[in-house]
Structure 1
């Protein structure tokens, strides 16, 4: 029953306004080789701005904030320090209170942290099973998001979109396809966490 509830809840994790009955292609454009590494923008297939991501460099914790196109914060992502696995907690708005927890994400292995990410919704306090899983290679920009374990339905995929021109301009661009009726703001949050884990490894 818990696994069925997970699959049925894909469409309303952040909010129903981020769910549409057709696939959504997102273009992720990240500034590279800058002091604000971790800041990037998310646009739709027509280059319309959808989200902005800001890394809070002066925070005691590694923290990212996802803002909508109007600049309103919709999610705050906080890295939990002093844990064996890389663990992130995602809250609504700019909150950090347990009542506003949206989901928790952690690497499934200390060694293979760049390949697997397990996601747990707030009700899943035991974390005996993951509600969602991300598998793939971040370096190759080739990742798949599953509703549950890797044998479960695919809800989003990342595609490599790296060109020599983008590197010369100091930008890294890649595409993410979000499947119909899947919360695309939730998928963006997962991409931000993957980027943060990779950034921390490179620091």
Structure 2
């Protein structure tokens, strides 16, 4: 059985997607979701200086069951797909633009079928038994106040918090900040937040 990440020290990088996205210092990200566009649910992710790091896009006029995380040049980093007919609203994340089992990096599912708070259990691809999750997300998505933990431990690997500005409300943009702790794959954290947003939007449409 795969050991949960929380049982090992986080002094060394935890590259879920790539070591390229693991920094030895905290990384602050600004995530802006465009609210009033025809491709609602698409994101732009920047650093604190406004430099674009990632974009998140989904096919226009398609079901909300597929998203692609792109680098600044438009190259696909990972593809996020919702697993159809899954009781716990499970999403699977694959390397690049693949959706093949051999390219599976991790999956995430709601901790329970009915829940008021944002709670996700995250399993890396090699954790096939899924007896213990590798990461856990807890908090309130409505308030954009979520914390991501390593496994079942109390070790925090990332935190998100809302940032309200008059300009963002006027422009129809939903902006929130994420602090990713040292040595944690920040592309992985962005992918988790996209999944949280998709689950929340799916629930609000029901």
Q: Deviations over 1:45-84 (max 9, x none)?
A: 1100000000224556710000000100000000011111
Q: How many angstroms does 1:201 deviate by?
A: 1.6
Three-state SS of the structure 2 residue aligned to 1:12 is coil
Number of residues paired by the alignment?
A: 202
Unaligned 5+ segments in structure 1 are none
1:87 is matched with 90
Q: Does 1:189 align with 2:194?
A: no
* Contact 2:15 2:22 (C-alpha < 8 Å) held by counterparts: yes
What's 2:106 paired with?
A: 103
Q: How far 1:44 moved relative to its partner?
A: 0.3
Q: Distance in 2 between matches of 1:22 and 1:71?
A: 26
The equivalent residue for 2:166 is 164
The whole-number CA distance in structure 2 between the counterparts of 1:180 and 1:36 is 33
Contact 1:106 1:119 in 2 (8 A): yes
Alignment correspondent of 1:71:
74
Specify every segment of 5 or more residues in structure 2 that has no aligned partner in the other structure, as ranges.
none
Q: Distance in 1 between matches of 2:64 and 2:28?
A: 31
Q: Partner residue of 2:140? A: 137
TM-score (norm 1): 0.93
1:52 alignment partner, one of 52, 55, 58: 55
Partner of 1:2 in structure 2?
A: 3
Using a 3 Å threshold, how does the CA distance of structure 1 residues 175 and 122 change in structure 2: closer, same or farther?
same
